[in-house]
Amino acid sequence: MRSEQKVEAMATSTHTSWAQVALLLMGLSLALLNFASTTWAQNAPAQVLGETNNSPNPNNAPLTLTLQDALQRAQKINPEYRLAVTDFGLAREDRVQGRAALLPTVNYNAAFLYTQGIGSTAQAPRFIANNGVHEYISQGNVHQDLSLGKVADYRRAAAAMAVAQARTEIAARGLVVTVVRTYYGFVTAQQKYANTQRATTEARRFLDVSQKLEHGGEVAHSDVIKAELQARQQERELQNAELEMNRSRLELAVLVFSDFNQNFTVVDDLQTPAPLPTLPEIQTLAGRNNPDLAAAMAAMRQASQEVKGAWYGFFPSLSLDYFYGIDANQFAVRAPDGARNLGYATAVSLQLPVWNWGASRSKVKQASLRRDLARVELSFTQRRLLANLQTFYDEAQTARSQMDSLNQSAELAAESLRLTTLRYQAGEATVLEVVDAQNTLTVARNAFNDGRARYSVAIADLQTLTGAF
């Protein structure tokens, strides 16, 4: 009776101990989960938590951003460019794997085979495929495949890597155009906002002048009404210019900042336009550095290697194996009778393709179709390069030649407004002439700013074909 009570007490005690351990483990798990959640929330990126830096920090000065800074930042976070870089990395690893397939491989094999024996002594195995009741395998293996198809696969992988590399350069140059367009779009928007501010100030000043002249009986009230309409119109234009400036700031922030920072300023370097080389120099650079042409030529080489690889499917292939180690009934260097278990073996295998229901010939046809398409794409790329080269160069040349003219027009418009205002005050000009001069000046200044940005974008477009110059 005492024994049964003792066993029952021990069982109860054991059950209680396990329950306490389970509760303790549950408490630790909950504590670790809470700690991990708190740590993640503290260290999580702002974009994951939905936080953005959309208001300037009064304690921190705004970041000054140059065009090169914007380009470097955009390359790190732009998904299209990162996708092209990733594809290039994958293609490079494919070439590494293709090269490795041409080289010998070394492996180590270890195994133990047990087979039911025959008779009471169990010395002979029941299955004839095995060498004994106990069989130990511990061998090194050197394996080599010799196949023309693997050579073609390696060359195809090398051509595919060249295609991916060229496309990476295409993505990089396209990103430059996007950044340049967005960067100088923001610069131009700021300049237009400043121009509109000056025009608004001028319209308000002219309204004040017309009111004073009306009080002196020198002009009619209709002039004041026209001046007031002009001032109100300029105020609306100022609001639209501010809206456009904020929108362009957001576009640039999305492109260059991973945390969507808006507390930045940009450097206006449009005052020093880049030089434009001559057309023969541009043509030489395009023939040597054009990534579209390089990608098309590499794709042509890749397609040609696919055709060769498909034809190599009709050729025989050879494989070599060399084994060294133990394959015996004892896991030992020597057997009980003193014989050495260590030894080597070689195997040579030759495969001759005989019949596969036309699959090899079908692969040849597929590869030939891809090669024909690659040839057409290469020809089209060459024609498009010639057309784009002439178009982009003409655009850059026209934009460069118009910059001086636009600058002179802005200076003349400013002088015209000054003279027209003086003539109006002297009673020699009408209010319509003053309003027209004000609008002409604003349009001329904006056109000059657009012309400078147009030339910078045209240079970026041209460099997509030639590279930097």
Cβ-Cβ contacts under 8 Å for 95 (sequence gap 6 or more): 154, 157, 158, 160, 161
Cβ-Cβ contacts under 8 Å for 270 (sequence gap 6 or more): 184, 187, 449, 452, 453, 456
Give the DSSP H or E segment for 140: strand 134-146
The tokens for 134 are 């106990």
Per-residue CA distances from 374 to 156, 175, 301, 389, 465 (Å)? 14, 26, 9, 22, 20
Cβ-Cβ contacts under 8 Å for 200 (sequence gap 6 or more): 231, 234, 235, 237, 238
Q: How big is the CA angle at 175 (ends 170 and 180), to the nearest 5 degrees?
A: 130
Strand-pair partners of 321: 143, 347
* CB-CB contact of 234 with 203 (8 Å): yes
pLDDT for res 9: 44
Nearest to 100 by CA among 149, 145, 162, 141: 145
Query: What's the distance, CA 139 to chain centroid?
Result: 47
Q: How big is the CA angle at 87 (ends 84 and 91), to the nearest 5 degrees?
A: 140
The tokens for 400 are 């460069």
Nearest to 113 by CA among 90, 146, 138: 138
Per-residue pLDDT tens, the chain, 469 aa: give them.
Answer: 444 444 344 444 444 444 454 445 455 554 544 544 444 334 444 333 334 444 444 557 889 999 999 999 999 999 999 999 999 999 999 999 999 999 999 999 999 888 888 876 667 787 777 778 888 999 999 999 989 989 999 999 999 999 999 999 999 999 999 999 999 999 999 999 999 999 999 999 999 999 998 898 888 899 999 999 999 999 999 999 999 999 999 999 999 999 999 999 999 988 888 899 999 999 999 999 999 999 999 999 999 999 999 999 999 999 999 999 999 888 888 888 888 989 999 999 999 999 999 999 999 999 999 999 999 999 999 999 999 999 999 999 999 999 999 999 999 999 999 999 999 988 888 989 999 999 999 999 999 999 999 999 999 999 999 998 8
Regarding pTM above 0.75, the answer is yes
* CB-CB contact of 123 with 287 (8 Å): no
Give the DSSP H or E segment for 286: helix 279-289
Q: Rounded distance, CA 80 to CA 82, Å?
A: 6
pLDDT for res 43: 44
